[in-house]
Amino acid sequence: MRIKKCYWVWGLFPSRETKFLNKIKAEVQSKLISPFFDIHITLAGPYLNIDKTFLKKLKAYGENNSKIILDVNGYDFKQKMFKSFYISIKNSRSLKKLRKNIYELKKFDFNNNYSPHISLSYGNHEKKEKDLLISKLPELNKQIKMSKIALVEVNEDLNLWKILEIYALN
């Protein structure tokens, strides 16, 4: 059963990458109507509750760990609400290590068949629309830098994805 009200840890990108990804997201969402959300890669969660201790640990993690490079596989989609249309990311050694480190800060369902991706649209859209859209989108860089981690409050019933805290990676 999907938890609809919870907290997640997201990865965010430097301004240059964010601008590029937001341009693609806007193009995708002009064809595939979607609720609004900030561009991100989901790293950890769901958490039913958080506390100040976790926030301090997450901040310290950011201060003591480096930015990571994400390897891009390309555009992809599924017939699922929250994986409707996205950029597929390789589940690299550095990404696995980062997730394991966050898990050590506060446990979450680590073995949940993690499939890293950067969502471009949420919703139930036709496969035919998505196939056509892929052919019209710009070529992606082979790598994207992830420079921040964020704590996010999610309420899917309200289509709310609210960033509460952002911590820079060094």
Average pLDDT over the chain reads 95
Q: Is the pLDDT of residue 23 over 80?
A: yes
pLDDT at residue number 163? 98
pLDDT at residue number 110? 80
- In this prediction, residue 3 has a pLDDT band, given cuts at 50, 70 and 90, of confident
Mean pLDDT confidence for 149-160:
95
The answer for residues whose C-beta is within 8 angstroms of residue 11's C-beta and 6 or more apart is: 40, 41, 42, 43, 70, 98, 146, 148, 149, 150
Above pLDDT 90, what percent of the chain?
Answer: 92
pLDDT at residue number 112? 72
Here the contacts of 16-21 (C-beta below 8 Å, separation 24 or greater) are 17/144, 17/145, 20/141, 21/87, 21/118, 21/144
pLDDT at residue number 40? 98
The answer for residues whose C-beta is within 8 angstroms of residue 151's C-beta and 6 or more apart is: 7, 8, 9, 50, 55, 58, 163, 164, 165
| CATH numbers and ranges of domains, the chain | 5-168 (3.90.1140.10)
Residue 37 corresponds to which tokens in the numbers above? Answer: 């959300």
Buried b (16+ CB within 10 A) or exposed e, 133-154: beeebeebeeebebbbbbbbeb
What pLDDT, in 10s, does the model give residues 75-109?
999 999 889 999 999 999 999 999 999 999 999 98
